[in-house]
Amino acid sequence: MSGPVSLPTPFGVRRIDVESCEHMYAAVQRELPGTAIFIGTAAVADYRPAQCAAQKIKKTSDTLELELTRTVDILAHVSASTPRPFVVGFAAETHAVEQHARAKLLAKNLDLIAANEVGHAKAFDCDHNALLVLWRGGRVELPEASKAELAGALAGIIIERFRAQLRNSPAARELREG
């Protein structure tokens, strides 16, 4: 699923275009049944305007107050769903990257989280990045590399952790012991 972007859809990918958090949530709910791995790369937005103006808001004073309300936390809803896929989240942090990412991993009951530091000349509008990948009981630091190289390394970690979870599932243990 994707919000409005000018990027081409990669070969072999079925993209579902959405325009709001509510549309994204509905699309995720429709597509979730039968999903083995869910990768939530970014939040749509944490907040939205409480009321949308029907027309342009005219400049009438030096300041303007807008009331914001929280949007639905799609990643947390996916993680709480039954049956539950293997859930991967991302954390873009300006400081205390590992501390904030680990807190998000636990609070949202994720299986894995990829975190990076963002800010001046970091992550956005550049071709290189570095990632910290966390899961319960483990971590891997992926040093600065091209985003394509990091994506490949991250995909490998996701597959490795997914397979480890399958091997340790109650059904797999029952098969081994039975």
DSSP states along 103-163: HHHHHTT-SEEEEEE-BTTBSTTSSEEEEEEEETTEEEEEEEEEHHHHHHHHHHHHHHHHH
How far apart CA 173 and CA 124 sit, in angstroms, is 43
Mapped onto helix, strand or coil, the DSSP state of residue 64 is coil
How far apart CA 2 and CA 24 sit, in angstroms, is 8
User: For residue 138, what pLDDT is reported?
Assistant: 96
CA angle (79, 83, 86) in 5-degree steps: 50
How far apart CA 79 and CA 86 sit, in angstroms, is 8
How far apart CA 174 and CA 167 sit, in angstroms, is 11
User: For residue 46, what pLDDT is reported?
Assistant: 86
User: For residue 6, what pLDDT is reported?
Assistant: 85
What is the pLDDT confidence band of residue 128, given thresholds at 50, 70 and 90?
A: confident
**What residues have CB less than 8 Å from 38, skipping those under 6 apart?**
32, 78, 85, 86, 87, 88
Convert the pLDDT of each residue in 154-173 to its tens digit: 999 999 999 999 988 776 66
Contact 140, 149 (CB under 8 A): no
User: For residue 169, what pLDDT is reported?
Assistant: 78
If you average pLDDT over residues 47-63, what whole number do you get?
Answer: 91
User: For residue 121, what pLDDT is reported?
Assistant: 63
User: For residue 122, what pLDDT is reported?
Assistant: 62
Mean pLDDT over the full length of the chain = 89
pTM (2 d.p.)? 0.86
User: For residue 178, what pLDDT is reported?
Assistant: 65
Mapped onto helix, strand or coil, the DSSP state of residue 2 is strand
Mapped onto helix, strand or coil, the DSSP state of residue 44 is coil
Whether residue 132 has pLDDT greater than 60:
yes
Task: Report the range of poorest mean pLDDT among 31-35, 39-43, 114-118, 153-157.
Answer: 39-43
If you average pLDDT over residues 98-107, what whole number do you get?
Answer: 96
Domains and CATH numbers, the chain: 21-45+66-177 (3.40.50.10300)
CA gyration radius, the chain: 19
Helix (H) or strand (E) segment spanning residue 93: strand 86-93
List phi, psi (to 5°) of 13: -105, 135
Whether residue 123 has pLDDT greater than 60:
no
Whether residue 79 has pLDDT greater than 60:
yes
User: For residue 174, what pLDDT is reported?
Assistant: 67
CA 136, chain centre distance (Å): 17
User: For residue 171, what pLDDT is reported?
Assistant: 65
